[in-house]
């Protein structure tokens, strides 16, 4: 999510150093990574790039332009011609070995890739709930009138952006090797209802049973293997001397 945290903050040196180690190891092992906003800055920093202030702060919707590599990329190609939600004041240089995938008008480096590690400066994860929270929490940082402008833009642009984000995340999961789990269905024994029985009328209780013509004729005359179920005791109580149920 957007925050006031910057990679260059001295108070977070230990956390940044720990993130650097984890991200460098992930890239070295060619593990799938997706860094969003601060995550993209951390990924670039871990790979040796400079992270600092962008000339302007970006809030709201901005046009994304894919590079030739971005249009050919299996993940970023999902955002061709899209406007994306921005919420940041910092930016990153392209790290050594990184491939620039997308640019913007007021912030050049919008997306890059190193192996299977992706960093995006914008926020594909935004939805109405997230956007409402940002506008509330960060309202003091927004210029006058920006909150109303962003809400008006979101009415038409957010549904389109969310559909594109779903394609983006699905494509990234495919690159990561994820496959949906197939639910295993176990075949159980086939239960055949005895023709001796019929369901009780709706007006009768759940335990009121009604049998057909084989009642009292013995197991040999019954169509159910093992004997006629009419010989069982009714849950509603009762039963004759031979265990015949009490019929209502």
Q: List active site positions.
A: 37, 123, 125
End-to-end CA separation in angstroms for the chain: 67
Cα 180 from chain centre: 12
Q: Which conformational region is residue 227 in: left (phi greater than 0), alpha (psi within -120 to 50 degrees), or beta?
A: left
Nearest to 164 by CA among 88, 83, 104, 100: 83
Q: Are the beta carbons of 32 and 117 closer than 8 angstroms?
A: yes
Is the CB of residue 228 less than 8 Å from the CB of residue 217? Answer: yes
What token pair was written down for 74? 């299996």
Q: Is 90 helix (H, G, I), strand (E, B) or coil?
A: strand
């Amino acid at each position: 999510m957007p925050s006031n945290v910057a990679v260059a903050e001295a108070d977070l040196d230990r956390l940044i150093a720990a993130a650097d180690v984890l991200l460098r190891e992930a890239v070295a092992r060619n593990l799938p990574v997706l860094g969003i906003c601060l995550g993209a800055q951390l990924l670039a920093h871990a790979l040796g790039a400079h992270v600092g202030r962008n000339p302007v702060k970006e809030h709201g919707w901005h046009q994304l332009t894919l590079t030739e590599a971005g249009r050919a990329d299996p993940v970023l190609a999902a955002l061709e011609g899209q406007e994306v939600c921005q919420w940041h004041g910092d930016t990153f240089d392209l790290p050594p070995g990184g491939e620039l995938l997308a640019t913007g008008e007021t912030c050049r480096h919008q997306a890059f890739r190193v192996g299977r590690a992706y960093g995006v400066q914008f926020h594909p994860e935004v939805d109405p709930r997230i956007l409402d929270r940002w506008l509330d929490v960060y309202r003091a940082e927004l210029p006058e009138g920006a909150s109303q402008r962003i809400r008006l833009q979101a009415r038409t642009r957010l549904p389109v952006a969310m559909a594109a984000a779903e394609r983006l995340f699905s494509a990234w999961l495919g690159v990561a090797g994820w496959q949906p789990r197939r639910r295993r269905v176990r075949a159980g024994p086939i239960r055949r209802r005895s023709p001796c029985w019929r369901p009780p009328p709706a007006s009768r209780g759940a335990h009121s049973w009604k049998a057909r013509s084989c009642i009292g004729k013995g197991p040999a005359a019954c169509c159910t293997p093992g004997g006629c179920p009419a010989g069982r005791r009714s849950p509603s109580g009762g039963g004759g001397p031979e265990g015949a149920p009490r019929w209502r």
